[in-house]
Amino acid sequence: MRDREAWDLKRSLAFWNLFLAVFSFAGAVRTVPQLVGALMEYGFAYTVCRRAVFYYGNGPAGFWVCLFIFSKYLELIDTVFLVMRKRKVRFLHWYHHFSVLLYCWHAYTWEMPTGLYFAAMNYTVHAVMYFYYFLSGRPAHGSTSWDGGAYDFQ
C-alpha cells in the first residue's frame, strides 16, 4: 500500500457514513426510550443491578442491542477506509474500536445491565457523528472550525 496512490473513495465513504448515521439513529430510537422508561418506572438501581434479560434482553430493544454488538465489526470498515485513503489511523480511532468491541462482547456474555446505557449512548453519539461525517464529506460543504470535535464528542 505504501507505493500506491490513495484511493478516491469520497462517494463510497459518504454513503457509508449516511448508512451508519441512519442505522445509529434507528438504534437510538429503540434503545433510549427503553432505558428512560426503565429508569422512570424502576429507578437507577434496577437498571444497573438486574440482569439484562429482565429489562432489555428481549423485544425490540434486545434486538437493537444485538445489532449494536454486531455493528462493532462493521465499524471496523472505517479503518479500512482510512488505510485505503492513506490517512493516518489515530491511536484514539483504533483503541476506541478495539475496546468497544471487547466491551460489547463481554457485556453480552455476562448479560451486563449497563449494556443498555452503553448502547443507547453510543447509538446517539454515532448518529450525530456519522451524520456530521456524511455532511462534511460532501463537496458543497466547506471546512468548519469544529472539524476535530467529533472525536471529542465521542
Measured CA to CA, the distance from residue 30 to residue 123 in angstroms comes to 10
Q: How far is CA 133 from the centre of its chain?
A: 13
C-alpha cell at position 7: 484511493
Measured CA to CA, the distance from residue 148 to residue 154 in angstroms comes to 11
What's the first-to-final CA gap in the chain, in angstroms?
29
Return the amino acid letter for 127. A
C-alpha cell at position 62: 434486545
User: Is 96 annotated as catalytic?
Assistant: yes
Measured CA to CA, the distance from residue 105 to residue 103 in angstroms comes to 6
Of 93, 96, 97, 106, the catalytic one is: 96
Characterize 86-121 residue by residue with b for buried, 16 or more Cβ atoms within 10 angstroms of its Cβ, and e for exposed: eeeeeeebeeebeebbebbeebbeeebbebbbbbbe
Just list the catalytic residues: 96
